[in-house]
Copies of this chain bind each other. A is one copy, B any other.
Amino acid sequence: MERQRIGLIGAGRIGQVHGEVLARQVAGAEIGMVADIHERAAAALAEKYGVRYTADYHDILHDDTIDAVAICSSTDTHAQIIIEAAAAGKHIFCEKPIDLQLARIDAALTAVAQANVKLMVGFNRRFDPNFRKAREMVAEGKIGEPHILRITSRDPGPPPLTYIKVSGGIFLDMTIHDFDMARFLMGSEVEEVYAVGAVLVDEAIGAAGDVDTAVITLKFANGAIGVIDNSRQAVYGYDQRVEIFGSAGMVQVGNEVGTTAVYSNAQAIESEKPVYFFLERYMVAYAEEMRQFVACLVENKEPPVSGIDGRIPVVLGMAAWKSCQENRPVKLSEIESV
């Protein structure tokens, strides 16, 4: 079987993650070319794996030997590249979020549909074995009907202010993962959102128009209630937990820790903190995510995270912002009807 050749667009941190995975951990794939507007970054990554590079991603789109693209560039370029890649007949893996504006997302999804190429959006946490196990248990009915969903998602520290300013804010940058997780775990759509935000970690984040601490309540179509709590700074590290409580039981996913060593001394029993951040916690998930994308190309099947799956969390993030600003519950239909 021939390997799928993937053009990597964007050689920054997340591009490097996907590059490593494509080069070494996905049996049926290889990197076809690396593009980055910073040519040096493209060159450095390309050299590592002995492949071609370019400063212009159109070189990838025009290359007939390339089957698909992995879009890892900055968010504001995603929609445009999707449209062009679709037109070029390339299948598309795109990092989240597709875009911060619904009109641009919809244009991209339309282009994908018209070109009949595959699009998968990079909600990597769905491929974490822990969350996957929780989803399986829910889907198998082991907890009966889901009643309450709790998601805790806290970062070890805030990103740079420069990033925060273009991120779309906490609900579109950070909670967006939890919105996707909520849909994934529950198998039901969110209909209404109530978001409370606060600036408790760093006043500069507030000055930038964002919040750093949030609690978001979700009402699901199936009648269940969900709650997400977020913080930009947990001093004990990356805190990624979920709990789904239902009529017949509960499943909880805890953090992964550095080692299983436990130290008992005259003061306390000490165990290790969670692994540092998303690269440590989700590296296995990044690899599995890309394996499944490639498998969809090879076996010609629908990607497990569709364009619509990429769009809905953006709507949820918008609803959360509206709710937070107006201090009232907001239905998703309000966002759609704008």
- The answer to whether A227 touches B227, judged by C-beta atoms less than 8 angstroms apart, is yes
- The answer to whether A265 touches B142, judged by C-beta atoms less than 8 angstroms apart, is yes
- Contacts beyond the supplied A253-B261, A263-B268: 7 A-B pairs with Cβ under 8 Å: A142-B263, A145-B200, A148-B229, A235-B249, A249-B265, A251-B262, A271-B271
A213 at the interface (CB under 8 A from B): yes
Q: Which of A6-29 contact B (CB under 8 A)?
A: 24-25
- The answer to whether B227 touches A260, judged by C-beta atoms less than 8 angstroms apart, is no
Closest to A146 in B: B200
A248 at the interface (CB under 8 A from B): yes
- The answer to whether A231 touches B148, judged by C-beta atoms less than 8 angstroms apart, is yes
How distant is the Cα of A321 from the Cα of B313 in the complex, in angstroms?
30
B-binding residues in A (CB < 8 A): 24-25, 129-130, 132-134, 137, 142-145, 147-148, 150, 152, 154, 194, 196, 198, 200-201, 213-215, 217, 219, 223-227, 229, 231, 233-236, 245, 247-273, 327-329
How distant is the Cα of A248 from the Cα of B225 in the complex, in angstroms?
30
How distant is the Cα of A255 from the Cα of B214 in the complex, in angstroms?
26
- The answer to whether A248 touches B235, judged by C-beta atoms less than 8 angstroms apart, is yes
- The answer to whether B266 touches A249, judged by C-beta atoms less than 8 angstroms apart, is yes
This chain's copy number in the assembly: 4
- The answer to whether B247 touches A137, judged by C-beta atoms less than 8 angstroms apart, is no
Closest to A250 in B: B264
A-B complex: 8 closest residue pairs judged by Cβ atoms: A249-B265, A236-B264, A268-B270, A254-B260, A133-B261, A130-B259, A235-B266, A250-B264
> Mind listing 11 A-B residue pairs with CB under 8 Å?
A132-B259, A137-B263, A143-B263, A200-B223, A200-B224, A225-B229, A234-B250, A252-B262, A253-B260, A253-B261, A270-B270
Among candidates B215, B270, B272, residue contacting A148 with C-beta atoms closer than 8 Å: B215
- The answer to whether A229 touches B150, judged by C-beta atoms less than 8 angstroms apart, is yes
A136 CB, min distance to chain B CBs, angstroms: 9
Interface centre among A137, A213, A262 (most CB of B within 10 A): A262
